[in-house]
Amino acid sequence: MKSKDPAVNRLINVALDRGVETVWDRLAAQQPQCGFGELGVCCRNCAQGPCRISPFGDGPQRGVCGADAHTIVARNLVRAITAGCAAHSGHAKHLAHALHKGLSGKAPAYGVKDEVKLRALAARLGLDAEKTADALARDVLGIALAQFAEGEGPMPWATTVMTEGRTQRLAELGALPTGIENTIAEMMHRTHLGVDADPVNLLLGGITCSVADMAGSHMATDLADIMFGTPEPVVTEANLGVMNENMVNIALHGHNPVVSDVLVQVAREMEDQAKEVGAEGINLLGVCCTGNEVLMRHGIPSITHSISQELPLLTGALDAMVVDYQCVYPSLAGVAQCCGTPLITTMDMAKIPGATHIGVREEEAREKAREIVNLALEAYQRRLGRPVNIPQYKEKVVAGFSVEAVVQALAAVNADDPLKPLIDSIVSGSIQGVVLMAGCNNVKVPQDHNFLTIARELVARDVLILATGCGAGAYARHGMLTPEAVGEFAGPGLKAVLTAVGEAAGLGGPLPLILHMGSCVDNSRAVDLAVAVANKLGVDVDKLPVAASAPEFKTEKAVAIGAYAVALGMPVHLGVVPPVLGSAQVTSLLTAGIKNLLGGYFIVETDPVESARLIFEALQERRQGLELPTRAW
C-alpha cells in the first residue's frame, strides 16, 4: 500500500501502466539507502571527506579532522535547522518586499487588505496604531526587514509572541536570536570545519536558529494575512475528484501566496476567455501549502499534497501546473512532458530544467498571471477530445481557522472572556489536551497512514487536534475536516465541546473534528493559541497539556519547526526516525536532557498507535502537573 488515499493509489497504477516514474519508483531504486546517512554519522563538510563513523566500533571513530560521531551528528542536525530557517524566513522576506513595492506604488497588485490585523500587529510591536493604514504598514515593514540583520537586542518578532517566562528562559541559555540572517550565517560558520565541535553547544545554537525560524514563520503569516486577508471559516472540497474535464484546470503548487493569490484574482477575471475556447470556466486547484493558502482565503479546493504531487498530471485533465518554491519535485518536468501539460515555474530562484519559466516580479504580477492563464487556455484546447482519467474521490472540507476565527467562535459562548470555554473544557477533562499535527508526507510511510491513525486514536480520547501543512491536507482528503466527522470519531467530551461551540457560533452543528489552521508557516497560529492560553493561566507553555506531532515529516523546514516547538516547551512527536541515532549523546539530549532545560523534548516512535499513546501520556503528565484530573490510556 503506497497511500491511504484511494485516488492516489489509482493513479499510481496508471503510472505503472504507462511507464511513468514516480517518487515511489525512485525510492525503490535507492534501496538499500546509506546506513551511515540514516544514522547521521557521515560528514562531507570539507574536501578531506566524505568521512563516516562506524556505529559498531569496528571502524573509524573520528573523521579526518578529528570530529567524532557526536560532533558530526550535531552539526548535521543544526545545518538542517538552519536550512529550514532560511526557507521560512525567505518566504517572509519575499512577502515583505511585495508589500513594500505595493505601498510605494510599484506593484499595484499588493497592498493592505486586512487593516484590523495590521493594527493588531502594530500594537504587538509597540507602534502607534493611530496612523493611517499605509503609514502604519510602512512602520511594520521597517521592523520586519530589520529582523533579518543583526540588531542590538532580541528580535521583537520572537519575543512578542512568547510568554515572558519563555523569553527569560531562552535568554538565560543564550538562545534568543538578534536577527534571522545573522543567526543563519553564524550557524553555517559554526558547523564549518574547525569551528564548533561541542555537540551541546551546537544544539543550543540550533535552538537559537529554530527560534529565528519561528519569528520568520510568524512574520510570513502576519504579512500574508495583512496583504491577502486573515482566514475565516470556508466550506470547499478536497481530493482529485474536484478536477473537471470540461473546465480549464490549473494547479497552484508550492508555499508562497505572492503569485497564487494574484492568479486567483486574474483567473476569475478571465472566465469569459475560457468559455470562448469551449470550456465551462477556469477551475483552480491547490497542491501542498500554496494550496492551503488559497483554500483558506478563497475556498480553492486542494487536489493532493507532498509526495503525490506528480499524480494530478497523469489524469490528462490538468492544463497547467504553476509552481513557486519549496517541496516542488524536479521530477514534475518529466511527468508533465509525458502528459503534455505545461509546468510553469514562477520564481527566478527556483527553476526546473524542462519547465516553462515565467518569472513573476511583483511590479508586473497581474500581467504575468494573465500570461500563465493564457498558456493553460491553449493547453485546454490541445487536450480536447483526448481521454482523461479523473479518480472520482472528493470530500467536503471546512477550513480557515485562524486564531482570530477560533477566538470569534469561542466568543459566541463567552463574549467577555473568549478563552474561558476552552480553558474550562481542558480543566474539566472534556478536552484532555491540544495537539498540533504538522509536517509533510514521507514516501517511506504509506501516505497519510500515520496522520490518520494518530488522529483517530487521540480524538476518540477527547484530544482537540489542530492541523497545518500537508497534515491538514491529509485530513482534508479523508473527510476529517468536517462537522460530520465529529459524530463518527470524537469522544464524548470532545464531541460535546465542538457541538456547543459550533451551535453557539450559528453553524447549526459542531465545529469540524480537526481545525485546519493553514500552511507550514502557519504553525505560528498554533503557537499564538498556546501562548494566549498560557498567559491567561499565568503559566509557561511547558506546563500546558499541549503537544505537537510530525508523523510523516521529511524536510529541513519540518526539523526547524519541531525544534522551535521544543524551544517553546512542547513535547514533539516524530513518526520518522531523524538521522541522529549515530550519537547516543545527541539522541539522549534531544529526547531527555533538553527537557530539563526547556520543558520540551522529542518523542521518536514510528508505530502510529504507540505514538498516539505516548503523546496522550505526555498530555497526562502535564495535566498531573497542573493538578487536573487524568486518564489512563
Q: What is the pLDDT of residues 537-578, one digit of tens each?
A: 999 999 999 999 999 999 999 999 999 999 999 999 999 999
pLDDT tens-digit readout, 572-607: 999 999 999 999 999 999 999 999 999 999 999 999
**What is the pLDDT at residue 153?**
83
Residues 322 and 256: their CA atoms lie apart, in Å, by: 12
pLDDT tens-digit readout, 16-53: 999 999 999 999 999 999 999 999 999 999 999 999 99
33: which 3 cell numbers?
539507502
What percent of the chain has pLDDT above 90? 97
Whether the CB-CB separation of 73 and 67 falls below 8 Å is answered with: no
Q: Which residue type does 254 have? A: G
Distances (CA, A) of 410 to 240, 419, 484, 498, 511: 33, 7, 20, 10, 11
Q: Which residue type does 62 have? A: R
**What is the pLDDT at residue 524?**
96
Which residue has 447549526 as its cell numbers?
508
Distances (CA, A) of 268 to 16, 262, 370, 377: 36, 10, 11, 13
Q: Which residue type does 617 have? A: E
pLDDT of 129 strictly over 80: no
Whether the CB-CB separation of 350 and 54 falls below 8 Å is answered with: no
Whether the CB-CB separation of 81 and 209 falls below 8 Å is answered with: yes
DSSP character at residue 382:
H
Whether the CB-CB separation of 567 and 576 falls below 8 Å is answered with: no
Split at pLDDT 50, 70, 90, the class of 323 is very high
pLDDT of 231 strictly over 80: yes
DSSP character at residue 33:
P
Q: Among 146-160, 363-377, 520-534, which stretch is predicted with the lowest mean pLDDT?
A: 146-160
pLDDT of 151 strictly over 90: no
224: which 3 cell numbers?
500574508
Split at pLDDT 50, 70, 90, the class of 402 is very high
Angle among Cα 198, 202, 203 to the nearest 5 degrees reads 120
φ/ψ of 391, rounded to 5, equals -60, 130
Neighbours of 199 (CB within 10 A): 22
Residues 292 and 197: their CA atoms lie apart, in Å, by: 40
226: which 3 cell numbers?
495583512
Split at pLDDT 50, 70, 90, the class of 56 is confident
CA dihedral 574, 578, 581, 586 (to 10 degrees): -80
Residues 267 and 456: their CA atoms lie apart, in Å, by: 38
What percent of the chain has pLDDT above 70? 100
Q: Which residue type does 491 have? A: G
Mean pLDDT computed over 399-406: 97
Split at pLDDT 50, 70, 90, the class of 130 is confident
DSSP 566-584: HHHT-EEEESS--TTTT-H
What domains are there in the chain, each with its CATH number? 6-24+240-383 (3.40.50.2030), 64-228 (1.20.1270.30), 402-625 (3.40.50.2030)
Q: Which residue type does 573 have? A: H
- E strand map for 279-385: 282-287, 302-304, 318-323, 343-345, 356-357
Q: Residue 419 in 3-state DSSP?
A: coil
pLDDT of 299 strictly over 90: yes
Maximum alpha-carbon separation in the chain:
72
pLDDT tens-digit readout, 502-526: 999 999 999 999 999 999 999 999 9
Distances (CA, A) of 194 to 63, 73, 78, 189: 12, 15, 16, 10
Classify residue 617 as exposed, middle or buried by CB count within 10 Å of its CB (0-12, 13-18, 19+). Answer: middle
Split at pLDDT 50, 70, 90, the class of 430 is very high
State the pairing for strand pair 343-345/302-304.
unpaired
**What is the pLDDT at residue 195?**
97
Residues 624 and 174: their CA atoms lie apart, in Å, by: 30
Peptide bond into 330 cis (omega under 30): no
Split at pLDDT 50, 70, 90, the class of 414 is very high
Residues 492 and 460: their CA atoms lie apart, in Å, by: 8
Q: Which residues have CB under 8 Å from 267's CB, separation 6+?
A: 250, 282, 284, 369, 373
Average pLDDT, the chain: 96
Q: Which residue type does 588 have? A: S
Q: Residue 3 in 3-state DSSP?
A: strand
Global pTM reads: 0.96
Q: Order of strands across the sheet with 514-518? A: 514-518, 463-468, 433-437, 546-550, 571-574, 601-604
Q: Residue 602 in 3-state DSSP?
A: strand
